[in-house]
Chain A
Amino acid sequence: MKRAFLLEMTIFRDYARQLVGLGLLVSLCIGLGMQTPLAMPATLTCMFFMMSAMGLAAYDQLNHWELFRLTLPLSRRDVVLGRYAAIVTFGLLGMAVGLVAALAATAVVSAVGLPGEVGEAFAFDPGMLSVMAVVTCFTLLIGAVVASVVTPLYFRLGQTRATQILPTVIVLLFVVPVVVLGNSGMLDGGIPGMELVSAALEALDTPTGMVVGCVVLIALSSVALAISAAISLKLYERREL
């Protein structure tokens, strides 16, 4: 698996560099637009998970690379696990870059002493760090879930065909349930366990709650990726290249 992982890292390296630059710019714009540095690591974490899952799959079909890759001393299992390891690595890289960029932006704004709302929003506040951690972990979950949904499709159908049906899958998985639940009125208190969710959200206001929240979000992300990897292994094993 290590070989397949290193292969993915080498192939994605140049694109990742471009993505860091682009991501920093986008996250800074979003941060300034939303007047909070919290948006910076959140944006980059989510963006890197999604872009690495999609970007790596895009290289598969160039020059029949996907087919040729299996003539190298790699198993299909190596290829799948190497892909997930690369997605997680790039996702965490995005998170790290985002956190450093947010702190750097805060430090620069504090040092320069920007006036107005932006100066206030980006002023350093120790309490902001824990909120940033929770928000970043939440976007980690979003990015991981998206990567978990798209990656098995790429392994089963190839990038071209998967891209054609992905919008439909995304709508079915993420939009339809929200619309159905919204129209049914269940979101207004009809769903069993909503009190528990509300209590959990309230608990996030406490330091312990935040730590637990981060751990739970990271655990959920890991579970989503693990289930997705297991599905991908099954699907890719039978894929006719």
Chain B
Amino acid sequence: MSGSLIEARGLAKHYSAFSLEGVDLTVNEGEVVGFIGQNGAGKSTTIKALLGLFPTDGGASSVLGVPSDELSRASGAATKEQVGVVFDAISLPEHLKVADVGRIYQRTYATWDAHRFGRLVDEFGLDTKKTVKSLSRGMGMKLSLACALAHDARLLILDEATAGLDPMARDEVLDLLRDFVAEPGRAILMSSHITSDLERIADRIVCIDAGRIVFDLPKDVITDEMGVARCRVADLEKIADAGVVPDAELRYLHHDYGIDVLVPDRFAFAENFPEIPVDRMTIDDYMTLTLKGGVR
């Protein structure tokens, strides 16, 4: 597909206790794709497979048009000039000072922008004399983000990059990411457990569970159209009998005070069942109802 910065089809990787099974994932130009799932669901494994960090057992993937397995070979390594990567913890030798990290990137990326790195370091309040070891988790993530944003990348692959950041720093980072993706030809794949961040920035949400993609939906469909009906047990039967929601799509989750029901169109639902309160759907709600909810 033209305009795809990341494309994966049927990606498979088998370990003794876990497998990625037929993962399909596309990140198009101009998109921020939120990649969600429980711990151990396969988010990081998928990201590493996309980056060609290990051989896969099936399927195919490409980053910026280059097959993932070429990215660590001489033929494809230069493509990574245009990819900024942040893992869930700072991944640099801990004895290096912040200034050394800048030097390392300068020697590695032909497109390194030392001024931009300096500006970001200042904005993030990083002390260039501090070592990586002495940085807190949040400051370490800020350093990683500053590196990823300072070499004119077209694609950012962020694995839990906002973890450890305080709310104000997260705001700041989300603004930077918004500015980044506003430039033509760019995109972001962002895995995160902080779904409120994704609600603010993502265009599409892809969820993985036990190594399989469970859903891939525009974020607006989840947060603007869907809803969670807060029902009593009797209401569930009433909703099912009315046929407003097809039986196969009627997902629900029991809790102590009633039943939450997934509603594909909360406005239509409110018209049909004005007596049943229906709330706006969050990404967390949708993931929980999809992964843990029952189908009638």
Q: Give A contacts to B, CB under 8 Å.
A: 3, 6-7, 10-11, 14-15, 59, 62-65, 67-68, 70-78, 238, 240-241
A68 closest partner in B (C-beta): B91
Given A14-B95, A65-B91, CB of A73 within 8 Å of CB of B81: yes
- Name the one of A63, A73, A240 contacting B108, with C-beta atoms under 8 angstroms: A73
Among A6, A7, A71, A75, point to the contact of B85 (Cβ < 8 A): A71
Chain A residue numbers with a CB within 8 Å of B90 are 63
**Residue B91 contacts which of A3, A67, A76 (CB distance < 8 angstroms)?**
A67
- Collect the chain A residues with CB atoms within 8 Å of residue B73's CB: 75-77
Contact A63 B74 (CB under 8 A): no
Complex partner residue of A65 from B54, B81, B92, B103, CB under 8 angstroms? B92
A–B complex contacts, Cβ < 8 Å, 30 sampled: A6-B107, A10-B103, A10-B104, A11-B93, A59-B93, A62-B93, A62-B94, A63-B91, A64-B89, A64-B91, A65-B91, A67-B87, A68-B85, A70-B52, A71-B51, A71-B53, A71-B83, A72-B105, A72-B108, A73-B77, A73-B108, A73-B109, A74-B77, A74-B108, A75-B72, A75-B77, A76-B73, A78-B77, A240-B54, A241-B54
How many residue pairs link A and B with beta carbons under 8 A? The number is: 83
Known: A70-B51, A75-B74, A76-B73. A63 touches B93 (CB 8 A): yes
CA of A170 to CA of B59, assembled, Å? 42
* Residue B100 lies at the interface, judged by CB distance under 8 Å to chain A: yes
Which residues of the other chain, B, contact A241 by a CB distance below 8 angstroms? 53-54
Which 3 pairs show the lowest CB-CB distances between chains A and B? A68-B91, A71-B85, A75-B77
- Given the complex, which residues of A lie within 8 Å of B132, measured CB to CB? 63
Task: Report how far A6 CA is from B73 CA in the complex, Å.
Answer: 19
Instruction: Name the CB-closest residue of B to A58.
Output: B93
Cβ proximity bits B26-58 to A, threshold 8 Å, 1 near / 0 not: 000000000000000000000010011111000
Looking at B73, B80, B93, B103, the one whose CB has the most chain A CB atoms below 10 A away is B93
Q: Specify which chain B residues have a CB less than 8 angstroms from the CB of A78 in the assembled complex.
A: 74, 77
Tell me which residues across on chain A come within 8 A of B81, comparing CB atoms. 73
Minimum CB–CB distance for A215 against chain B, Å = 33
In contact, A3 and B108 (Cβ under 8 angstroms): yes
Q: Contact mask B64-91 → A, CB, 8 Å, 1/0?
A: 0000000111101111110101010111
Which residues on the A side are within 8 Å of B100 (C-beta)? 10
Q: How far is the CB of A17 from chain B (nearest CB, A)?
A: 12
The closest CB in chain A to the CB of B140 belongs to A63
**Residues of A close to B276: CB separation below 8 A:** none
Grouping DSSP codes into helix (H, G, I), strand (E, B) and loop, the A interface class, with mixed when no group exceeds half, is: helix
Q: Give the CA-CA distance A4 to B80 in the complex, in Å.
A: 14
- A240–B78 CB distance below 8 A: no
Q: A7-B108, A75-B72 are in contact. Are A64 and B87 (CB under 8 A)?
A: yes
B182 to chain A, nearest CB (A): 24
A103 to B137: give the CA distance in the assembly, Å: 49
Contact present for B91 and A70 (CB under 8 Å): no
Cα distance, A65 to B103, chains bound together (Å): 16
- Cβ of A59 to closest chain B Cβ, rounded Å: 5
Are A7 and B104 CB-contacts (below 8 A) given A63-B93, A65-B92, A67-B53?
A: yes
State which residues 100-146 of B face A: CB under 8 Å. 100, 103-105, 107-110, 132
In this complex, what residue of B is CB-closest to A61? Answer: B93
Contact residues in A for B108 (Cβ distance below 8 Å): 3, 6-7, 72-74
Residues of B with C-beta under 8 A to A68? 85, 87, 91-92
Question: Which interface residue of B52, B54, B90, B108 has the most chain A CB atoms within 10 A?
Answer: B108
| Nearest chain A residue, comparing its CB with the CB of B84 | A71
Q: Besides A6-B108, A15-B95, A73-B81, 18 other CB < 8 A contacts?
A: A6-B107, A7-B107, A10-B96, A10-B103, A10-B104, A59-B93, A64-B91, A65-B91, A65-B92, A65-B93, A67-B87, A72-B109, A73-B108, A76-B72, A77-B74, A78-B77, A238-B55, A241-B53
Q: Within the complex, what minimum Cβ distance (angstroms) separates B86 from chain A?
A: 9
CA distance A74 to B51 in the complex (A): 12
| B79 contacts across to A, CB distance below 8 A | 73
Of B55, B72, B92, B93, the residue contacting A70 (CB under 8 A) is B72
Nearest CB in chain B: distance from A28 CB, A: 27
